[in-house]
Amino acid sequence: MTTATTTLRTVELATIVGEKFVAEAPAKLSVLAVDGVTPSHSVAPGSVDEVAAILTYAHEHDLTVVPAGGFVHQEIGRTPEQVDILLRLERLNSIEHYDPGDLTIGVGAGATIGEIEAMLRDQGQILPIDIAHADRVTIGGAMAVAAHGPLKHFYGGVREFCLGVRYVTADGKAAKAGARVVKNVAGFDVMKLLIGSFGSLAVITSASFKLFPAPAVTRTFVCQFAKLEEAIAFRDSVVDSPLSPMCVEVLSPRAYDKNAWTVALRAGGSERVLARYTGELGSAVTKALDAFEEQKFWTDAQQLGQESPVLLSVSVPPSIAGKVLADAEQIAAANDLSFTAWGRVAIGSLLFAFDGGMAESYVSAVDSLRRTLPRDASAVVNRCPAALKPSINVWGASPSDMNSMAAAKRALNPKDNLNRGRFLL
Amino acid sequence: MSIHTVSKRLRQLLSRDAVLDRPEDLMLYEYDGGLAKGTPELVVFPQTTEQVVAIVRAANEFKIPIVPRGAGTGLSGGAVPSKGGIVIVFSRMNKILEIDTANRRAVVQPGVINTELSAALARHKLFFAPDPSSGRASTIGGNVAENSGGPHTLAYGVTVNHVTGLEVVLPSGELVHYGGKAADSAGYDLTGFFCGSEGLIGIATSITVKLSRVAESVATLLGIFNSVDDAANTVTSITGEGITPAALEMLDGLTLRTVEEATHAGYPMDSGAVLLIELEGLKESVEEQAEAVAKVCTRNGAREVRRAKDEAERALLWKGRKTAFGAIGRITPSYYSQDCVVPRTKIAEVLRLIEGVSKKYGQRVANIFHAGDGNLHPAILFDLRDPEQLHRVLEMSREILTHCVSLGGTITGEHGVGIEKQELMSLMYTENDMEIMRRLRDAFNPEGTMNPEKIFPIRRGCGEARVSSVKPEVVEVAG
């Protein structure tokens, strides 16, 4: 691209968002590179209309657009060939409505999970997206990657509590779907398509969510076992019991205690309810954590895998979670990799980190692991060195029909200029 | 001519009794639980997925419309063949294919009835959470198409929250799979998108559902109030205490008196409203919550709070709720039940509005609804034989729904848009909003032959068209 067209583009983008919110200097933009690909322009729109105008412009000029929030999950996906416009949603961060009595909230895509959490805390309510870097992860980003933490065990993923969304299609149509009430079946559930679409369908500009009352008291029961099978048997007994914990998290030896497989159960309720947990769990409990200790346990758990070069998000039918953990451990050993695993073991939502190996050993481990999985399981590489991306299959296979996905994509992102080349299709 | 060719071919493909084309047989498939009506040209009863594929392909050859149908209990006309064509009835695809207790999943054919699935799961102490009030007849396929709810959605969520995988015959006749037993999968959440798409993007021929564990303890309370306002305020006070009941239902004075006369559930005849509150979970937590709920009711002016002592009393309290619409049928020749949702803090406000609308138009309204979700089902009493009354009823509905939308609510919480509300979509959605949804429909259903003329406005001066197509009696088993 010549300097002349770059400058012209800057001027044109500036007429949409104002000069102050367009950047084109490579020096400024290199810190915003996506897998080492520096965007030609960065724009930060201040309204839905501006987002629509930018996307219309990009659509008309065949420019590729990468939507961006807090840059926490931007490393997920294939390497883009080029990034013409980095579309920063950080200015769309208003709280559109918060109605404690209704247990609902509507927020701009650029609002961070941390800001929302802080606001809800005062009212004793939660939005159950408990993830690392909450101070940076935005609502738009959390929806795009279907972010989840240990609370997913009880509350489900974002898809289960997102009530409505405002979004702009790749060709610049601003639209909404859903509503802000907890029950609504008017029109198609576009939210479901956008959640977990990694910005490949449309740009989310705001969303409404159902909130939940925070439990009065919580306690975490740390239960440790010498063998994985024992940990899984314990999980089964919990699932079959009348207990309904908020979290049932497995932690492999490297994740918490090198001598044990740990299952951490977090329960909420009154002292009487928590006493019932103590009684039911009996001798399985190694220690019970309260208050600060409990907080620290879960904060530490969020840090797992943050430094690992290769991180996988694995979703399997719950009954094979034990087998998959065992297989993954063995595959890691066979490839001379160290292996750390954790996750929502009762619902089959797991995370694996591989460390300390050569490039080819990571590729081999991921391929081997995928070969052990049934058709309806998924293993997505959430992180790997950019250099590995050409040889590693980031997304793996999907159990869902690819032609149907392509049809949905054609409807919302007809020229494939949103996150082109980065997603599964 | 084309329909006869298809009819002949399908008779060869399916068994002879699986294809109906005599006018007297077709008449039975002209309507569902709603007001709209349309006559099919052919009704077919497939038994296998392969047969569904064959039917869709045969229809496509001649661009014949297809309307999938479960039990026909829907209330929005979703299963009505307004453009004629073929109605595919799933009553013979009614097998529970698998109960997988280790994964807490069941795989079912679309014609399995809600209560049949519950019965099959009972010995495992598991259940499928969506519980539409039509559950004794409604099918899981219909639940998926409409994204059905029910009284217990407050704690458990609606159908989409309990479906992880689908086998789908697309409008093209292609057989595809979405998701599976795992909770998530790489790629777009087509399973989630399909739920509630009202048969416009395909036909589910196999459904993988999540199962929930039956709670150890249940408490059912009845809060009796002198005024609707007190009952409405209690609803927000309960959730304000951090309590999420499994169900939180309200019946207003007119409804509860009508119900009491019919079922003798024990609702005091002179009260203004009752709340039916159900709590589930660990017995310790249920006990605490029951005490807290009773206090909240009293604080909000409840004149009495009763608690069911045993299963028989519990069943009686629920019987009043579940048969309420039937009871209303005893005091009116017809009624029209709405399905609007408002934020739960606005319940009192919207009930006052409904009362005003009722007085303005001179038609009585009985209110019975899922108060915890803010999902109202005002039933407008009228006489269908009087066209003027019907006209007023439709006007009243529009006025009520417009107000609900202005409060941040929706035109339908669980019944769907179908034909009934297609012209009301513009109350909620802009042209752009609907254009994108249409694009999605067209991406899957380019010829528009799968469940045509549903959800989206078709601008046919609807009010009039629908008045003339109304069937003579309204039989409703509303959510």
Q: Which domain CATH number covers B421?
A: 3.30.70.2740
The verdict on B170 and B125 lying in the same domain is yes
The verdict on B284 and B344 lying in the same domain is no
Is A419 among the domain residues? no
**B197/A188 touch (CB, cutoff 8 Å), yes or no:** yes
B155-A145-A255 Cα angle (round to 5): 85
Is A354 among the domain residues? yes
Give the ipTM of the model, two decimals please.
Answer: 0.97
How many domains are contained in chain A?
4
The verdict on B143 and B160 lying in the same domain is yes
Q: Does B158 touch chain A (CB under 8 A)?
A: yes
Distance from C-alpha of B438 to C-alpha of A202, rounded to nearest angstrom: 16
The verdict on A76 and A125 lying in the same domain is no
The verdict on B221 and B207 lying in the same domain is no
Q: Of B324, B344, B376, which residue sits at a domain end?
A: B324
Dihedral angle, C-alpha B422, B426, B432, B434, nearest 10 °: -20
The verdict on A100 and A200 lying in the same domain is yes
> CA nearest A123 in B: which residue?
B240
Q: Does B103 touch chain A (CB under 8 A)?
A: yes
The verdict on A113 and A209 lying in the same domain is yes
The verdict on B286 and B377 lying in the same domain is no
Sequence-distant (6+) residues with CB within 8 A of A282 are none
**A378/B147 touch (CB, cutoff 8 Å), yes or no:** no
Q: Of A213, A238, A257, which residue sits at a domain end?
A: A213
The verdict on A102 and A205 lying in the same domain is yes
Q: Of A284, A302, A320, which residue sits at a domain end?
A: A302
CATH code (residue B114): 3.30.465.10
Selecting from B217, B432, B437 the residue whose C-beta is nearest the C-beta of A174 gives: B432
CATH code (residue B70): 3.30.43.10
Please report which helix (H) or strand (E) contains residue A312, including its range: strand A310-315
pLDDT at B326: 87
CATH code (residue B290): 3.30.70.2190
Which residues in chain B have Cβ-Cβ distances shorter than 8 Å to A399? Answer: 165, 177-180, 182, 185
Q: What is the pLDDT of residues A23-35, one digit of tens each?
A: 997 778 888 999 9
Q: Of A302, A324, A349, which residue sits at a domain end?
A: A302
Selecting from A102, A214, A376 the residue whose C-beta is nearest the C-beta of B179 gives: A376
The verdict on A132 and A204 lying in the same domain is yes
pLDDT at B322: 84
The verdict on A243 and A284 lying in the same domain is yes
Is A359 among the domain residues? yes
Rounded average pLDDT over A134-147: 98
The verdict on A197 and A171 lying in the same domain is yes
Rounded average pLDDT over A159-182: 97
Is B479 among the domain residues? no
Contact B208, B179 (CB under 8 A): yes
The verdict on B117 and B176 lying in the same domain is yes
DSSP B188-199: --HHHHHTTSTT
pLDDT at A27: 79
Question: Residue A199: pLDDT above 70?
Answer: yes
Q: Of B272, B304, B324, which residue sits at a domain end?
A: B324
Distance from C-alpha of B364 to C-alpha of A243, rounded to nearest angstrom: 46
Listed in sequence order, the DSSP H helices in A18-150 are 26-29, 48-60, 113-121, 139-144
Is A418 among the domain residues? no
Q: For chains A and B, what is the number of CB pairs under 8 angstroms?
A: 276
The verdict on B110 and B67 lying in the same domain is no
Q: B 268-287 residues with CB below 8 A of A?
A: 281-282, 284-285
Distance from C-alpha of A268 to C-alpha of A246, rounded to nearest angstrom: 7
Q: Considering the entire predicted model, what is its pTM?
A: 0.96
User: Minimal Cα–Cα distance from A212 to chain B, Å?
Assistant: 8
**B436/A156 touch (CB, cutoff 8 Å), yes or no:** no
The verdict on A148 and A187 lying in the same domain is yes
The verdict on A122 and A187 lying in the same domain is yes
pLDDT at B323: 85
**B190/A146 touch (CB, cutoff 8 Å), yes or no:** no
> CA nearest B239 in A: which residue?
A101
Is B273 among the domain residues? yes
pLDDT at A66: 98
Is A402 among the domain residues? no
Classify the C-alpha dihedral B207-B213-B219-B225 as positive or negative. negative
> CA nearest B342 in A: which residue?
A181
- Domain holding A258, by residue range, is 217-302
How many domains are contained in chain B?
4
**B192/A192 touch (CB, cutoff 8 Å), yes or no:** yes
The verdict on B335 and B436 lying in the same domain is yes
Q: Of B146, B180, B213, which residue sits at a domain end?
A: B213
- pLDDT truncated to tens, each residue of chain B (479 aa)? 589 999 999 999 998 899 999 999 999 999 999 889 999 999 999 999 999 999 999 999 999 999 999 999 999 999 999 999 999 999 999 999 999 999 999 999 999 999 999 999 999 999 999 999 899 999 999 999 999 999 999 999 999 999 999 999 999 999 999 999 999 999 999 999 999 999 999 999 999 999 999 999 999 999 999 999 999 999 999 999 999 999 999 999 999 999 999 989 889 999 999 999 999 999 999 999 999 999 999 999 999 999 999 999 999 999 888 888 889 989 999 999 999 999 999 999 999 999 999 999 999 999 999 999 999 999 999 998 999 999 999 999 999 999 999 999 999 999 999 999 999 999 999 999 999 999 999 999 999 999 999 999 996 544 433 433 333 344 343 34
Is B474 among the domain residues? no
Selecting from A124, A192, A317 the residue whose C-beta is nearest the C-beta of B103 gives: A317
Is A423 among the domain residues? no
B387: which DSSP letter?
H
Selecting from A124, A185, A193 the residue whose C-beta is nearest the C-beta of B188 gives: A193
Contact A409, A425 (CB under 8 A): yes
**B185/A398 touch (CB, cutoff 8 Å), yes or no:** yes
pLDDT at B477: 38
The verdict on B338 and B383 lying in the same domain is yes
Rounded average pLDDT over A264-271: 96
Distance from C-alpha of A377 to C-alpha of A396, rounded to nearest angstrom: 10
Q: B 434-473 residues with CB below 8 A of A?
A: 434-437, 439-444, 455
Which residues in chain B have Cβ-Cβ distances shorter than 8 Å to A379? Answer: 186
The verdict on A118 and A59 lying in the same domain is no
Is A254 among the domain residues? yes
**B344/A189 touch (CB, cutoff 8 Å), yes or no:** no
Question: Residue A5: pLDDT above 80?
Answer: no
Backbone angles phi, psi at B415, to 5 degrees: -90, -20
- Domain holding B58, by residue range, is 2-89
CATH code (residue A189): 3.30.465.10
User: Minimal Cα–Cα distance from B267 to chain A, Å?
Assistant: 28
Is B475 among the domain residues? no
CB burial string A48-86: b at 16+ within 10 A, e below: bebbbbbbbbbbeeebbbbbbbbbbbbbbbbbbeebbbb
The verdict on B396 and B464 lying in the same domain is yes
Q: B 104-143 residues with CB below 8 A of A?
A: 104-105
Is B449 among the domain residues? yes
